[in-house]
């Protein structure tokens, strides 16, 4: 049984109110949703909070999920995308009113010496991702963190597959220019 | 055709490399799962209680709104003053405020 079929079966169990199914669904999609949120929120430390909210909504709305309208992954990531947009919007208003601190600016100073090359590359890549326009970042993160294909990303973002391809092409080009991330050397 | 296929393969490899790199950032599902199930197990809070908690946590927004409303009403009152009695009305209001201090008349 592949991930999509497993998720469909878990949604049926969720509809019957089985909490164990929710835990398994979180094991399947939780890390991806958290990584997506961490990269798409202006306050990355809120990622776990947003991920919790995503799965609480999945629990509450499980009976409303219609498999004919898309894959479970598409449905879950659509909730995550909307929650991140809402959270960023509310954060903007709060910052305007002075109720919330401005997002932390990335520290340009070199990190401690014990920081490994892989961690430095991760930090550099995350910085490069942060400079992408919102839509490009959403698309590339849905691909990389969520593992969604072009059609699923299109359904999640509510745009055409062609538009997704364009976003991905631009995002990859920008990331290639700003990082040393090349195929096959992520390890 | 061949170039296009090569590009697609390069893009797939790039996405895979990015996914593997991002997978190094910590994102454990166990604490997330525990947190979600705990929140489900907790008794639901009434919407009014949630709103009250939000206001108490960040009262600035409500205070700013209230202040803005007071300023707006003061400005409207000032603008409308000539039409509802002008300085005579102000004098009457001031007299009305003084009367309780004098013990009434």
pLDDT at position B105 is: 53
Q: How far apart are CA A122 and CA B8, in angstroms?
A: 24
Q: Say if residue A4's pLDDT is above 70.
A: yes
Q: Say if residue A172's pLDDT is above 90.
A: yes
Q: How far apart are CA A38 and CA B27, in angstroms?
A: 10
Q: When comparing pLDDT for B5 and A172, which is higher?
A: A172
Task: Give the domain ranges of chain A.
Answer: 1-100, 116-187
The minimum CA-CA distance between A120 and chain B, rounded to whole Å, is 11
The CATH number of A1-100 is which of 1.20.140.10, 1.10.357.140, 3.30.420.10, 1.10.1740.10?
Answer: 1.10.1740.10
Both B60 and B26 in a single domain? no
pLDDT at position A54 is: 94
Both B36 and B52 in a single domain? no
Which residue stretches of chain B have pLDDT < 50?
A: 1
Q: Per-residue pLDDT tens for A86-121? A: 988 877 666 666 555 555 554 544 555 545 777 788
Both B6 and B18 in a single domain? yes
pLDDT at position A183 is: 46
Q: When comparing pLDDT for A113 and A13, which is higher?
A: A13
Both B29 and B50 in a single domain? no
Q: Say if residue A182's pLDDT is above 80.
A: no
Domain hosting residue B1, numbered range: 1-42
- CB-CB under 8 Å, A118 with B58: no
Three-state secondary structure of A68-117:
HHCCHHHHHHHHHHHHHHHHHHHHHHHHHCCCCCCCCCCCCCCCCCCCCH
| Integer angstrom CA distances of residue B86 from A14, A17, A127, B96 | 68, 68, 62, 16
Place of tokens 């942060």: A130
pLDDT at position A168 is: 95
Q: Say if residue A57's pLDDT is above 90.
A: yes
Question: How many domains in chain B?
Answer: 2
Q: Per-residue pLDDT tens for A64-81? A: 888 888 899 999 999 999
Q: Per-residue pLDDT tens for A19-31? A: 899 999 999 999 9
Average pLDDT over residues A152-160: 93
Both B18 and B31 in a single domain? yes
Q: Say if residue A187's pLDDT is above 60.
A: no
Both B37 and B50 in a single domain? no
pLDDT at position A25 is: 93
- CB-CB under 8 Å, B36 with A26: yes
Q: What residues in B contact A143, CB-CB < 8 Å?
A: 15, 18-19
Both B25 and B37 in a single domain? yes
pLDDT at position B2 is: 55
Q: What residues in A contact B60, CB-CB < 8 Å?
A: 97-99
Q: Is A83 part of the contact surface with chain B (CB cutoff 8 Å)?
A: no
Residue A148's pLDDT band, with cuts at 50, 70 and 90, is: very high
Q: How far is CA A187 from the centre of its chain?
A: 21
Q: How far apart are CA A56 and CA A22, in angstroms?
A: 9
Q: Is A57 part of the contact surface with chain B (CB cutoff 8 Å)?
A: no
Residue A186's pLDDT band, with cuts at 50, 70 and 90, is: very low
Both B38 and B9 in a single domain? yes
Please state which CATH class domain A116-187 belongs to: mainly alpha
């Amino acid at each position: 049984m592949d991930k999509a079929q497993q998720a469909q079966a878990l949604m049926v169990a969720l509809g019957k109110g089985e909490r164990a199914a929710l835990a398994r669904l979180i094991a399947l999609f939780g890390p991806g949703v958290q990584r997506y949120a961490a990269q798409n929120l202006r306050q990355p430390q809120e990622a776990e909070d947003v991920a919790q909210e995503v799965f609480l909504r999945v629990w509450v709305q499980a009976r409303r999920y219609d498999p004919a309208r898309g894959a479970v992954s598409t449905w879950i990531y659509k909730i995550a995308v909307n929650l991140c947009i809402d959270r960023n919007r509310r954060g903007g208003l709060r910052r305007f009113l002075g109720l919330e601190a401005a997002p932390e600016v990335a520290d340009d100073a070199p990190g401690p010496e014990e920081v490994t090359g892989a961690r430095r590359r991760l930090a550099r890549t995350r910085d490069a991702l942060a400079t992408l326009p919102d839509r490009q970042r959403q698309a590339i993160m849905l691909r990389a963190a969520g593992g969604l294909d072009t059609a699923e990303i299109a359904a999640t973002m509510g745009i055409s597959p062609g538009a997704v391809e364009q976003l991905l092409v631009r995002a990859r080009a920008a990331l290639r220019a700003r990082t040393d991330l090349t195929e096959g050397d992520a390890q | 055709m061949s170039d296009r296929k090569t590009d697609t393969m390069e893009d797939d490899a790039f996405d895979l490399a990015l996914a593997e790199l991002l997978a190094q950032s910590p994102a454990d599902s166990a604490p997330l799962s525990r947190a979600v199930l705990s929140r489900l197990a907790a008794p639901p809070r009434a919407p009014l209680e949630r709103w009250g908690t939000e206001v108490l946590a960040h009262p600035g927004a409500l205070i700013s709104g209230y202040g803005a409303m007071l300023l707006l009403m003061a400005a409207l009152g000032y603008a409308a003053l000539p039409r509802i009695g002008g300085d005579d009305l102000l004098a009457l209001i001031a007299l009305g405020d003084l009367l309780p201090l004098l013990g009434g008349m």
